[in-house]
Chain A
Amino acid sequence: MYDYIVVGAGIIGSFIARELSKYNLKALVVEKENDVANVQTLANSAILHSGHNPKPNTLKSKLCLLGNKLYDEVESELSIPILRTGAYVLAHNNEEEKKLDDLVVTTKQNEVTEFEFLSFDEAVKYEPNLAKTVTKVLSLPTTSVTYPWEVAFACMENAILNGVEFRKNSEVTNITKTDDIFKITINNTDIAEAKHLINAAGVKADDIAEMIERNVEYKITPRIGEYFVLDKRVKGFINHVLYPLPTNLGKGVLLTPQVHGNILIGPNSKFVDDKDRANNTTDGLRYVKDNAVLLADNLPFNEIIRSFAGVRSTSNQEDFIIRESNEVSGFYHVAGIDSPGLTAAPAIANYLLNKIMMVHEKYDTKCNFNPKREKLQEFHTLPNDQQNELIKQDSSYANIICKCERITEKEVIDAINGPLGSSSIKGIKKRTRAGAGLCQGGYCEEKVYKLIARETKSSPLDIVYDSQKSNLFVSESKVKK
């Protein structure tokens, strides 16, 4: 019997898991995917917004502001990368400049204290490739960029270290509640029991709720955002997050420098029917390109290494839905977490535990809670003498597996065998960036699958790309008919 079961191991579920692990209680996180952070957390702009944009006096505005600040602590405790870029919101003419003034009213109401206006001439000093058509800029220095799935890994790893259980490939298929006990069915077979149930199922949150509530008060209406990724060679082409003026549809097509030097271009915003289908479309990607050129001149589209689409769990409510169920006590919704969900995530977890679930009133804090998660800095970024020291201890640090991103055999082995290890190609890519570079795995996929097979003592035929059934190979060759 668990005190808490969390459904979903995206960024939200992972932060909640870590918060729960601070208390003397028994908690389980179940995730339908073959990895942490595999849906919404995997495909977004990776921005820690300043909080300038959400409608004032909403959970979105409050938790965004708070979350942005909390990331400093997350950074030092969990060793996650944060790129402190700052952001520019761009106006191109008088009309847009007026809207920029309106945006500042919101910014002030949201208690974002750091901002300033810049003329084109001032801004272009820091952003040499800023579009010449820009007339005025709102600078938001507290905007930063992180590496979302790394944050989720860090939280979940730390939660596991502090006693939380995690089960991947575990889809919740039924929920009942009798005598104050929730019984959740996993993959139609296993049963897990808990006193409280937290619904952090992202795009599937309403489906989970429907298993136990008669009238679910919200509906998730999935929204797709499409992106291009530019190779890390473009590092320095832009230095800030570049926003157009926000519209009803959201923050618009952005240019976002990424932690590893890449630049993200996107997203568009398109409501779709199928939650499981994050599709790229010709029109969508064209829209992204057409709008991106309004932000910077001479965008190096020839450096595109990938396009992708991400799904956002927008709900039919305006705000985040973070509350106890009106129908079922002990059942908590953390739903409709779209932008600025990544930024707000640590604050959402705090808010849920301390203001909604009142966990501190029910459970003691754990005296031996270890807030630290050590992560070795990426090997290729270390100074030479440190690299050689590590190679002396383990020569597999000298064997480069991914030439494009300079990832070593040791780092791949650690990603396979670590506390939150993965034995899928995509899992290794998420953990190490092997395959995330220019050749997109052309050189290293072969090496990675062989290392996974060796480390997990399995046949190459059993190695998967992502989900448990996404095998790389269908058969051996030379099968006699």
Chain B
Amino acid sequence: MKKEIIVIGGGASGLAAAISAKKEGRDVLLIEKEDRLGGILNQCIHNGFGLQVFKEEYTGPEYADRYINEFYKNNIEYLLDATVTDVIKIKDGFEITFSSRKTGIKKVNTNAVIMSTGCYERTRGSIIIPGDRPYGVITAGSAQRYLNIDGYMVGKNVFILGSGDIGLIMARRMHLEGANVLGVAELMPYSNGLTRNIVQCLNDFDIPLFLSHTVTQVNANKNQRLESIIIQQVDEKYNPIEGTEKNFKVDTLLLSIGLIPDITLLDNLNVEKDYKTKSVKINQSYQTNVSGLFICGNSLQVHDLVDNVSLESERAGVCASQYVLSQTTKANKNVRVVAGKNLLFVTPHYVDFSSESSKIVFQFRSKMKIEKSMLKISQDNKLVKNKRINFVVPAEMESITLNIENFDSSNDIVLDLEVL
């Protein structure tokens, strides 16, 4: 059995990628590890989804439902409860190993792979919080799942570390379900969440947001349950300032301290990494340096809007389809894309002049809040394009679309964000 494209993961990204590849006429198999399609959208019961794609405001499950229906309509082959355990490069493609109760361990070959495996939450282990190791310190996403899908509350008195959107959303959710949400602490001097979430999830319910603060101590009670935490203000170097300690009696600390692209399946492939996005490098076709390996959605870069995930993955599906059709392993003609002044990262990392895709969607995040800025795209110190962007914040990914004809195939493409 050989497929043309295997999509790994059936969340927002995988659904969109599979649909677009199938519409291009490809033979597609989607493999999902959970017992339902839709991925994390299933637990994101709040609204704010779909304004870009559908021009309508949906909740997560509603947004997923639209895509799942479309997916069914296109008669795309898929497997649920099936975990991919290995992706191996073979001649003319890949060998994918997956395991499920229904099928046992199976191997299937494919011309191309689209990785749409999403991201996982940073846990306490990846940051240093001194103190005990009690139960009750839990990622916001886990708490969200337990509450919204299983129907269980993880705590009564809750504090939230990190002002990422999931943390803010969970502050409101837990509050409305009867918990005492005592506050949110954010290490940075600005919030990592969308403004509307600050307003509608915190301000609406008088939940305080402590900017430039972090949790510096967690204490357990006799039963290993969280009993209290101490938060402290931090200086410019993020070191706690003595004398600013505040004590909160809480049984639960929700962590909303970041998401990390889940690319563990690529560990054994020689894929070039990007340490800023904590994922891998791609060209404008969402293809990695491993020919036929495509990646999109939150496993490529953590997005703040699901609409962008869908649109990006749709493009990746088309590109993967083009790759399968052309099948020629042309020598790549790569030009580097460089994240210049004030930018945290830019994708794609390369523009491949041998590729069919002439459209380049640059996506980037700024390092800081800038009221008025000018995005300058240049090659060999010559300005190719500039665009005024007002109000840039790290929490919101920006993008600009250009045609490959704007560039020459010999010099680095540099993006700078000038403060005006």
Residues in A lying within 8 Å of B, measured CB to CB: 229, 233, 276-282, 284-285, 302, 304-309, 380, 384, 387-388, 391-392, 395-396, 398-400, 403-404, 406, 409, 438-443, 445-446, 460-461, 465-470, 472-479, 481
Contact = CB atoms under 8 A, between A and B. Distances in A.
Given A438-B264, A446-B146, A395 B101 contact: yes
Contacts, number: 137
Interface in B81-117: 81, 83, 85, 99-105
B151 interface: yes
Contacts of A470: 135, 223-225
Contacts of B243: none
Contacts of A466: 135, 224
Interface stretch (B58-66, B119-127, B341-349): B119-127
Given A277-B132, A304-B125, A476-B153, A398 B224 contact: no
Interface stretch (B137-145, B308-316, B356-364): B137-145
Contacts of B101: 395-396, 398-399, 409
Contacts of A387: 105
A471 to B, nearest CB: 8
A278 B224 contact: no
B131 interface: yes
B216 A282 contact: yes
26 contacts: A279-B131, A280-B131, A281-B130, A282-B130, A285-B128, A302-B275, A384-B105, A388-B104, A391-B104, A396-B101, A398-B101, A406-B85, A438-B120, A439-B262, A443-B120, A446-B146, A465-B224, A470-B225, A472-B135, A473-B154, A474-B155, A474-B156, A475-B152, A475-B156, A477-B152, A477-B177
Nearest to A309: B133
Nearest to A289: B128
Contacts of A304: 125-126
A302 B276 CA distance: 12
Contacts of A233: 264, 267
A478 B155 contact: no
Nearest to A400: B83
Contacts of B128: 280, 282, 285, 307
Which of A233, A308, A309, A465 has the most chain B CB atoms closer than 10 A to its own CB?
A465
Nearest to A276: B222
Nearest to B223: A469
B147 interface: yes
Given A281-B130, A477-B147, A307 B125 contact: yes
B165 interface: no
B365 interface: no
A407 B123 CA distance: 20
A446 to B, nearest CB: 6
B242 interface: no
Nearest to A396: B101
B251 interface: yes
Interface in B131-177: 131-133, 135, 139, 141-142, 145-147, 150-156, 177
Contact of A403 (B83, B104, B129, B139): B83
B223 A467 contact: yes
A128 to B, nearest CB: 19
Given A278-B133, A400-B33, A442-B139, A305 B126 contact: yes
Given A460-B152, A474-B155, A477-B147, A465 B120 contact: no
A279 B121 contact: no
A395 B146 CA distance: 27
Most chain-A Cβ atoms within 10 A of its Cβ — which of B102, B128, B178, B251? B128
Contact of B132 (A278, A399, A474, A479): A278
Contacts of B153: 473-477
Given A399-B81, A475-B152, 17 more contacts: A276-B222, A279-B131, A282-B128, A282-B130, A305-B126, A307-B125, A388-B104, A391-B105, A395-B102, A398-B99, A399-B100, A438-B264, A439-B120, A441-B142, A461-B152, A477-B147, A478-B151
A210 B120 CA distance: 49
Nearest to B139: A442
Interface centre among B33, B126, B267 (most CB of A within 10 A): B126
Contact of B104 (A280, A398, A439): A398
A114 B16 CA distance: 61
A478 B173 CA distance: 12
Given A398-B105, A460-B152, A465-B224, A474 B251 contact: yes
Contacts of B251: 474
A63 B231 CA distance: 47
